[in-house]
Amino acid sequence: LLLIYKDVKNLKIVAKYFKKSIMDSMNAEIISIGTELLLGHIVNTNTAFLSQKLAESGIDVYHTSVVGDNPQRLTAAVKQALARADIVITTGGLGPTVDDITIETIAELIGKTPIRWIKNHVGTVPGLVIDWKEKMIICLPGPPRELEPMFENAIIQCISRARLNVPYAGDGRGSWIIKSRTIKITGLAESVVNRAVKDLLELKPPTTVGIYAKLGQVELKIMSKAKNEKLALAAIGKIEKKIRAKLNNFIFGCDNETLEGAVGKILTTKRQTIAVAESCTGGLLSSRITDVSGSSKYFIMGLVAYSNPVKIAGSGVDIKIIMKYGAVSQQVARQMAKGIRTLVGADIGLAITGIAGPTGGTKRKPVGLVYIALDKKGRTPLVKEFRFKGSREEIKFQASQAALDLIRKNI
């Protein structure tokens, strides 16, 4: 191999091999190397990271694989990947130890070829990029804390310049850009969101929309490829408008915005204060509210009213109501919300009571049954019943999410 040591910033990408234009989709294949991955000793987060980043860049991934530290099997995997993908990315096996076989194996396979070394700013082992017969082979170090910045700071540029068939001049001349915006929705099932924006989900490049279901929320990701940022953002804006026309009430934010952040913004703007009494969420709601910097302006108190005596003494629930309806009931939730609000003189009182499971459920009151009440000065109190599914942690999170959404909609 002919080794060329250069920093990626100074590279003139040998893009002449890449005849595809931005609108043609390129495809990449990821091969993770390491016997410890095959044994299940470590989880393959590198593939998840790379798949996500490549998708964000509009590059399709049709195959991923894992091979142990074995030259024959790695050779076979790389050969197969080169036969069907434009870009082959390997992770791991780059270090100096005997089980690090990536470079030797690939060198053996492709022969004398120029290599571009990619500086590793976090660790010692550099990554490498090879242009080979109209293909690109990229080898990245195994540790995620080395691979992730290397991919984001250097590799993604190599790939986009190459696919655009434009030498990397450093001034962005002739380059296309890809912009995205994630619209975050809560309070609706994925199937309902899917139905509402079905036509948008069928859009083809240059502007596309993807749907992603997460715990307690659904995300719509709009991606647009265009000649400049203004055009890409204009195309995204058009689609966002259509999404908002259908789902506006359920949208709480975009990109890095969080539900607790959105609630904080509204409480601040409306100069309202809040106090919270939580049972089954055990303080999670208070914790999420206080994750937001500046929450001291509006968050007065969080009480974990886990036991019945605390529900009675701390949040003013009538013992007779607990006896009659049980601790997990609309009536108790309503009294807790009012009790905590009046205790500290907040504008809003919020209470959660439910069964997080996996034990403690009955036929009439199954695991996942949660009541959330909101008591606002001068307004009729609100109580909502939810039936969440999932593990204990998942039910707790969904309850905190529903509580935040109830606050968001009723401030």
Binding site for ligand ATP (CB under 6 A): 32, 34, 36-37, 42, 44-46, 91-95, 100, 125, 141-144
Of 127 and 316, which CB lies nearer to ligand ATP in the complex structure? 127
Q: Least separation, in Å, of the C-beta of 52 and ligand ATP?
A: 13
Q: Least separation, in Å, of the C-beta of 85 and ligand ATP?
A: 18
Separation of alpha carbons 267 and 7, rounded Å = 49
Of 35 and 272, which CB lies nearer to ligand ATP in the complex structure? 35
Work out the burial of residue 268: count CB atoms within 10 Å of its CB; fewer than 13 is exposed, 13-18 middle, 19 or more buried: middle
Pick from 28, 407, 409, 402: nearest CA to 186: 402
Of 35 and 153, which CB lies nearer to ligand ATP in the complex structure? 35
Q: Least separation, in Å, of the C-beta of 37 and ligand ATP?
A: 6
Structure tokens at 384: 């909502």
Straight-line distance from the first to the last Cα atom of the chain, in angstroms, rounded to the nearest whole number: 66
Write the Ramachandran bin of 210: left for phi over 0, alpha for psi from -120 to 50, otherwise beta: beta
As a residue count, the chain comes to 411
Pick from 130, 186, 184, 153: nearest CA to 53: 153
Of 100 and 375, which CB lies nearer to ligand ATP in the complex structure? 100
Of 44 and 182, which CB lies nearer to ligand ATP in the complex structure? 44
Of 96 and 378, which CB lies nearer to ligand ATP in the complex structure? 96
Separation of alpha carbons 238 and 142, rounded Å = 40
Of 143 and 381, which CB lies nearer to ligand ATP in the complex structure? 143
Structure tokens at 133: 């017969």
Of 33 and 239, which CB lies nearer to ligand ATP in the complex structure? 33
Q: Least separation, in Å, of the C-beta of 89 and ligand ATP?
A: 11
Judged by DSSP in three states, 294 sits in coil
Q: Are 33 and 74 in contact (CB under 8 A)?
A: yes
Structure tokens at 380: 């009729």
Q: Least separation, in Å, of the C-beta of 158 and ligand ATP?
A: 18
- CB burial readout 207-233, b (16+ within 10 A) else e: bbbbbeeeebbbbbbbbbbbeeeebbb
Q: Least separation, in Å, of the C-beta of 347 and ligand ATP?
A: 47
Q: Least separation, in Å, of the C-beta of 81 and ligand ATP?
A: 15
Separation of alpha carbons 298 and 337, rounded Å = 16
Return the bridge partners of 371, or none. 353, 385
Q: Least separation, in Å, of the C-beta of 151 and ligand ATP?
A: 12
